Amino acid sequence: MSVDSVFVHKMWNDHELSKMVKGGVPFPMLSDGGGKVGSVYGVYLEDAGVEARGRFIIDPDGIIQGFEVLTPPVGRNILESIRQIQAFQVVRKSKGTEATPSGWKPGKMTLKPGPDLVGRVWEVWKTKMAFD
Amino acid sequence: MAKEMKVGCARPTGGPVGEAVIEATGGKTQQPQQKEVRQMVTVGKKAPDFTAPAYQKGKFIEVKLSEYLGKWVVLCFYPGDFTFV
């Protein structure tokens, strides 16, 4: 979503993005003229008249589980967004009985918070697991 | 799901839908009530619903966020088409 019109979105997709992604952009390119939606989400930069790089992860109940907002010059890390979605999906599937520690990736161990784990995380989770 | 839009010369627009959180400010003073419309975007809270015109695979459509209930959604904002990053 950006403040550009759907007509500009079409031109950008057809003339540039389709040269980067085969078949063009598969998902809807949303238009937010005037930044009305961006204002509600807190990402509309009034002085510049554009929207910051806001990324919101919304679960199947319509609840915001996470967001990240960057100023325009720095691009996002898509793999990190995907990792976060995978983590939120694991937590949701477990109905909140599992949590994903720092550095979690699919296949790595989760934590099962409960009375037995209090003060004993150090036994099952090592600092290096945040970095591997 | 999303319905196709007829486009004319006017720029299609959308915007927030549904109730905004209306907060009375000023406490118990005698001033005329000042109301501030503020919608909270916070983790663990509902994503504010909106409609927005969109372009997708050769068609102009209208998208409503609440039509995606039941699915995971990634909503991305960016500064502008034909910019560099």
Based on the structure, what is the number of domains in chain B? 1
B77 contacts chain A (CB < 8 A): yes
Report yes or no: A72 and B79 within 8 Å, Cβ to Cβ.
yes
Q: List phi, psi (to 5°) of B15.
A: 155, 180
Residue B77 placed within a domain: no
Residue B85 placed within a domain: no
Q: Which of residues 36-75 of A touch B (CB under 8 A)?
A: 36-38, 40-43, 48, 50-67, 72-75
**Closest Cα in chain A, distance from residue B24 (Å):** 18
Report yes or no: B47 and A63 within 8 Å, Cβ to Cβ.
yes
Average of per-residue pLDDT values in chain A: 97
CA-closest candidate to residue B55, choices A14, A38, A52: A14
Q: At which residue do the structure tokens 């919101």 appear?
A: A56
Average of per-residue pLDDT values in chain B: 83
Banded pLDDT at A62 (limits 50, 70, 90): very high
| Minimum-distance CB partner of A42 among B41, B47, B70 | B41
Instruction: Compute the average pLDDT of residues A14-38.
Output: 97
Residue B81 placed within a domain: no
Residue B74 placed within a domain: no
Residue B18 placed within a domain: yes
* Per-residue confidence (pLDDT) for residue B6, from 0 to 100: 83
Structural domain harbouring B58: 3-68
* 3-class SS letters over A59-92: CCCCEEEEEEEECCCCCCCHHHHHHHHHHHHHHH
**Rounded-to-integer distance, Cα A15 and Cα A21, Å:** 11
Report yes or no: B21 and B49 within 8 Å, Cβ to Cβ.
no
**Alpha-carbon distance values, A12 to A24, B6, B82 (Å):** 10, 20, 6
CA-closest candidate to residue A33, choices B41, B6, B2, B80: B80
Tokens of A102: 């720092």
The residue in chain B having the minimum alpha-carbon distance to the alpha carbon of residue A67 is B43
Instruction: Compute the average pLDDT of residues A79-96.
Output: 97
* Per-residue confidence (pLDDT) for residue B35, from 0 to 100: 54
Residue B57 placed within a domain: yes
Instruction: Compute the average pLDDT of residues B19-33.
Output: 54
Q: At which residue do the structure tokens 């037995």 appear?
A: A116
**Closest Cα in chain B, distance from residue A123 (Å):** 30
CA-closest candidate to residue A5, choices B53, B77, B3: B53
Cβ contact (<8 Å) for A60 and B72? yes
